[in-house]
Amino acid sequence: MEQTLLIIKPDAYKRKLVGKIITRIEREGFDIIRIALKSLTEEEAEILYEVHRGKDFFEPLILFMREAPVVALVVEGKDAVGRLREIVGKTNPDEAASDTIRALYGTSTGRNAVHAAESKEAFEMEVRVFFPDFKTTDSTDIFYS
Ligand code: IDP
Ligand code: MG
């Protein structure tokens, strides 16, 4: 089993798409093992998107991520990182395969409804913004121990 992070972005939050997106995640068979609603500080938004610092879209992206709260979910499943990225779809909703979350709910390359960690390493860094004491060995087992 692998874990990854999904962030429901402010555009989707404001359009009241949180329930639809979580329903999709459950329908795909992922287990939700952490969930949080959070208003990001500037510093937290910058941690998430540090690799894009200096690009044209960096500052608008940081402002966008602070327009409204986000909902972060740690989800677990087989090949979770890659499979979630597939279900999320390409960055530009117009290029995303039909029935991906971004094709369904994104409205532009910037306002594309969700973020999914790109790698295990990215997940381990990003998860700490929302769940500082998260240990990557945690899994659904914690609910039964
Ligand atoms: P990803 O979210 O599909 O991994 P990245 O290239 O890592 O895409 O970009 C991170 C986020 O930055 C995107 O999801 C999107 O919100 C925003 N972004 C990326 N490229 C552009 C752009 O060309 N214009 C506006 N926003 C962009
Ligand atoms: Mg990315």
pLDDT tens-digit series, residues 70-103: 999 999 999 999 999 999 999 999 999 999 999 9
Does a structural domain hold residue 142? Answer: no
Give the number of the atom of ligand 1 that is nearest the alpha carbon of residue 51: 7
Out of 24, 83, 111, 115, the active site residue is 115
Whole domain around residue 24: which residue ranges? 2-130
Tell me, what's the pLDDT at 139? 66
pLDDT of residue 136: 75
Cα–Cα nearest to 101, from 15, 40, 3, 1: 15
- Whole-number Å distance between alpha carbons of 15 and 138: 32
Angle at CA 133, nearest 5°, toward 68 and 119?
A: 70
**Domain of residue 61, CATH code:** 3.30.70.141
In a domain, 43, yes or no: yes
Give the per-residue pLDDT at 145: 42
The pLDDT of residue 101 is: 99
Nearby residues of 117 by Cβ (< 8 Å), 6 or more positions away: 4, 5, 81, 84, 123, 126
Alpha helices in 28-57 (DSSP H): 42-48
Nearest to 81 by CA among 116, 49, 55, 111: 116
Would residue 52 show up in a list of annotated catalytic residues for this protein? no
pLDDT number for residue 140? 58
Q: Residue 74: beta bridge partners? A: 5, 34
Domain count, the chain: 1
C-alpha 3/C-alpha 34 separation (Å) is 11
Per-residue pLDDT tens over the stretch 116-144: 999 999 999 999 999 999 997 766 555 54
The verdict on residue 144 lying in a domain is no
Q: What does the alpha-carbon distance between residue 64 and residue 99 come to, in Å, rounded to a whole number?
A: 24
Taking the C-alpha atoms of residue 123 and residue 137, their distance in angstroms, rounded to an integer, is: 13
Residue 140 lies in a domain: no
| pLDDT digit string, tens, across residues 14-61 | 999 999 999 999 999 999 999 999 999 999 999 999 999 999 999 999
22: in domain: yes
Give the residue, 69 or 136, on which the prediction is more confident.
69
Task: State the pLDDT at residue 67.
Answer: 98
Ligand 1, residues 4, 13, 88, 109: which to mutate, most atoms within 8 A of Cβ? 109
- Ligand 1: which atom is nearest the Cα of residue 90? 3
